[in-house]
Amino acid sequence: MTQNPLLAPIEALIDYSSISPAHIEPAIRTLIEEARSAVERAADPALPATWADIVEPLDDAGEKLWRSWSVAGHLNAVVNTPELRAAYNQCLPLITEFSTWSGLHTGLYAQYKRLRASDAFKDLAPARRRIIDLALRDFRLSGVELEGADRERYAAISDQQAQASQKFSENVLDSVDGWSLYVDDASRLDGLPPDVVDAAKAAAREDGKEGWKLVLKMPCYLPVMQYATDRSLRQEMYRAYATIASEHGDAKLDNSPLIEQLLALRAEEAALLGYASYAELRLETRMADDAGQVLDFLRQLARKAKPYAMRDLQELREFARDRLALDELQPWDVAFVSERLREERYDYSEDEVKQYFTEPQVLQGLFQVVEKLFGIRLRASDAPTWHPDAKAYEVLSAAGEILGILYLDLYARQGKQGGAWVDGERNRRARHGAVRTPVVYLTCNFSKGQNGRPALLTHDDVITLFHESGHALHALLSEVDDLGSAAFSSVEWDAIELPSQFMENFCWEWGVVTSLSAHVDTGVSLPRALYDKLRAAKNFQSGMQMLRQIEFSLFDMNIHHQAHGLSIQLVLEALNEVRKEVAVLFPPAWHRFPHNFSHLFAGGYGAGYYSYKWAEVLSADAYAAFEEGAASGAGDTLDPLTGRRFLKEILAVGGSRPASESFAAFRGRAPSIDALLRHSGLGE
Asked whether residue 478 falls in the same domain as residue 522, the answer is yes
| Paired residues of 440 in beta bridges | 406, 424
Inform me whether the pLDDT recorded for 684 exceeds 60: no
Cα–Cα distance for residue pair 59/157, rounded to 1 Å: 26
Asked whether residue 112 falls in the same domain as residue 29, the answer is yes
Q: Are 620 and 455 in contact (CB under 8 A)?
A: no
Which tens digits make up the pLDDT trace of 559-593?
Answer: 999 999 999 999 999 999 999 999 999 999 999 99
Q: Rounded mean pLDDT of 622-638? A: 89
As separate numbers, helices (DSSP H) first and strands (DSSP E) second, the chain gives 28, 9
Asked whether residue 184 falls in the same domain as residue 134, the answer is no
Task: Kindly report the CATH number assigned to the domain that includes residue 23.
Answer: 1.20.1050.40
Which tens digits make up the pLDDT trace of 370-401?
Answer: 999 999 999 999 999 999 999 999 999 999 99
Q: Are 354 and 463 in contact (CB under 8 A)?
A: no
How far apart, in Å, do the first and last CA atoms of the chain sit? 69
Which residue from 171, 9, 90, 51 is spatially nearest to 485, judged by alpha carbons? Answer: 51
Which tens digits make up the pLDDT trace of 338-373?
Answer: 999 999 999 999 999 999 999 999 999 999 999 999
Asked whether residue 129 falls in the same domain as residue 189, the answer is no
> What's the residue count for the chain?
684
Asked whether residue 228 falls in the same domain as residue 377, the answer is no
Domain assignment of residue 51, yes or no:
yes
Q: What is the pLDDT of residue 635?
A: 78
Catalytic residues: 468
Q: Are 563 and 267 in contact (CB under 8 A)?
A: yes
On the 0-12 / 13-18 / 19+ scale of CB atoms within 10 A, 539 is middle
Task: Decide which of 189, 210, 243 is a domain's last residue.
Answer: 243
Coil, strand or helix: which one is 526? coil
Which residue from 465, 546, 477, 444 is spatially nearest to 512, judged by alpha carbons? Answer: 465
DSSP state, 593?
G
Which residue from 610, 592, 172 is spatially nearest to 416, judged by alpha carbons? Answer: 172
Q: What is the pLDDT of residue 629?
A: 87
Cα–Cα distance for residue pair 366/203, rounded to 1 Å: 30
Asked whether residue 105 falls in the same domain as residue 184, the answer is no
Q: Are 480 and 129 in contact (CB under 8 A)?
A: no
Q: Which amino acid is at 385?
A: T
On the 0-12 / 13-18 / 19+ scale of CB atoms within 10 A, 267 is buried
On the 0-12 / 13-18 / 19+ scale of CB atoms within 10 A, 307 is exposed
For the chain, the average pLDDT equals 97
Give the CA angle between residues 156, 496, 626 to the nearest 5°.
Answer: 175
- Residue 632 pLDDT class (50, 70, 90 cuts): confident
Inform me whether the pLDDT recorded for 2 exceeds 80: no
Domain assignment of residue 646, yes or no:
no
Cα–Cα distance for residue pair 120/134, rounded to 1 Å: 17
Cα–Cα distance for residue pair 604/618, rounded to 1 Å: 21
Q: Are 216 and 245 in contact (CB under 8 A)?
A: no
Q: Are 62 and 38 in contact (CB under 8 A)?
A: yes
Domain assignment of residue 365, yes or no:
yes
Asked whether residue 532 falls in the same domain as residue 426, the answer is yes
Domain assignment of residue 483, yes or no:
yes
Asked whether residue 62 falls in the same domain as residue 111, the answer is yes
Q: Rounded mean pLDDT of 640-648? A: 97
Q: Are 270 and 281 in contact (CB under 8 A)?
A: yes
Asked whether residue 193 falls in the same domain as residue 115, the answer is no
| Paired residues of 422 in beta bridges | 442
| Paired residues of 182 in beta bridges | 213
Which tens digits make up the pLDDT trace of 118-165?
Answer: 999 999 999 999 999 999 999 999 999 999 999 999 999 999 999 999
Cα–Cα distance for residue pair 315/637, rounded to 1 Å: 34
Which residue from 503, 505, 430, 515 is spatially nearest to 467, judged by alpha carbons? Answer: 503
Strands 434-436 and 429-431: antiparallel
Give the CA angle between residues 158, 163, 168 to the nearest 5°.
Answer: 125
The number of distinct structural domains making up the chain is 3
Beta-carbon contacts of 306 under 8 Å, excluding residues fewer than 6 positions away, are 543, 547, 582, 584
The CB-side HSE value for 10 (13 A sphere, CA atoms) comes to 23
Asked whether residue 124 falls in the same domain as residue 223, the answer is no
Asked whether residue 42 falls in the same domain as residue 131, the answer is yes
Tell me the C-alpha to C-alpha distance, in Å, between residue 415 and each of 62, 170, 444.
29, 10, 13
Domain assignment of residue 380, yes or no:
yes
Cα–Cα distance for residue pair 248/27, rounded to 1 Å: 40
Domain assignment of residue 541, yes or no:
no
Inform me whether the pLDDT recorded for 1 exceeds 50: no
String of b and e for 608-630 (b: at least 16 CB within 10 Å)? bbbbbbbbbbbbbbbbbbbbebb
Q: Are 177 and 414 in contact (CB under 8 A)?
A: yes
Task: Decide which of 243, 274, 299 is a domain's last residue.
Answer: 243
- Residue 634 pLDDT class (50, 70, 90 cuts): low
Beta-carbon contacts of 511 under 8 Å, excluding residues fewer than 6 positions away, are 636, 638
Coil, strand or helix: which one is 248? coil
3-state secondary structure 530-553: HHHHHHHCCCCCHHHHHHHHHHHH
Task: Decide which of 198, 218, 243 is a domain's last residue.
Answer: 243
**Boundaries of domain holding 384:** 359-536
Which residue from 229, 195, 231, 235 is spatially nearest to 212, judged by alpha carbons? Answer: 195
Asked whether residue 373 falls in the same domain as residue 498, the answer is yes
Q: What is the pLDDT of residue 633?
A: 75
Inform me whether the pLDDT recorded for 613 exceeds 70: yes
Q: Are 474 and 454 in contact (CB under 8 A)?
A: no
Q: Are 265 and 157 in contact (CB under 8 A)?
A: yes
Beta-carbon contacts of 204 under 8 Å, excluding residues fewer than 6 positions away, are 182, 210, 211, 212, 213
H-assigned helices in 193-329: 194-206, 218-227, 231-242, 256-272, 278-282, 291-324
Coil, strand or helix: which one is 513? helix
Domain assignment of residue 596, yes or no:
no
Task: Kindly report the CATH number assigned to the domain that includes residue 439.
Answer: 1.10.1370.40
Which tens digits make up the pLDDT trace of 460-504?
Answer: 999 999 999 999 999 999 999 999 999 999 999 999 999 999 999
The CB-side HSE value for 225 (13 A sphere, CA atoms) comes to 22
Q: Please tell me whether the overall predicted TM-score, pTM, comes out greater than 0.85 for this model.
A: yes
Q: Are 432 and 62 in contact (CB under 8 A)?
A: no
Tell me the C-alpha to C-alpha distance, in Å, between residue 106 and each of 39, 45, 100, 398, 405.
11, 11, 12, 47, 37
Say what percent of the chain tops pLDDT 70. Answer: 99
Inform me whether the pLDDT recorded for 437 exceeds 50: yes
Domain assignment of residue 36, yes or no:
yes
3-state secondary structure 325-357: CCCCCCHHHHHHHHHHHHHHHHCCCHHHHHCCC
